[in-house]
Structure 1
């Protein structure tokens, strides 16, 4: 778990850096592109808009679910740029964690005055 904590710290640091430079109020896609670029530049294996299938009757079905950013094949990042996070946002991350059997997710809301207020850690 220590390596996952180190990875999480790197991602949070990168998210804070993106937020400091761009500020709140932009579209989610702008933050996603910048965070993806920065994490990739730091040498992390990152996948953007990673499809995640649903398993039904032992068959994997592509239903259009996509993880905003998947880091090192284990950390789910769900990015938002909303006035306030709600239960549906948390449920979305939990669903991705369960469907992909990932240990940890970060729900990152960039539409806040201070980025640390927009970071929620979600454990599977």
Structure 2
């Protein structure tokens, strides 16, 4: 798949060091991320997480292939969590890599946003 190409599984967007593929499973928006979440790629993730026209949004962010996340990513996740919660929905993180999980744990995001060890568990009711 090339940059910006639409695949059978959803819509892909690639900017700099981050690829975001958005799909839906049983009414749950699934964002599959690959690469780094930082100041340069944060806007792309922020746009993908926009739930302003969604009633009761349910969102899972698959983080299996995220190799790096800085404070920009933390802020984006917290803002998205607040927006989704205010809209009556939920946000879950699936399978964060060890390095990303350490960052989430250091700042306490894993106490706020539900982190599940696998995508399957994140999609479960």
TM-score normalized with structure 2 length: 0.33
Query: Normalized per residue, which structure has more strand?
Result: 2
Larger relative CO (CA 8 A, sep 6+): 1 or 2? Answer: 1
**Higher CA-based Rg:** 1
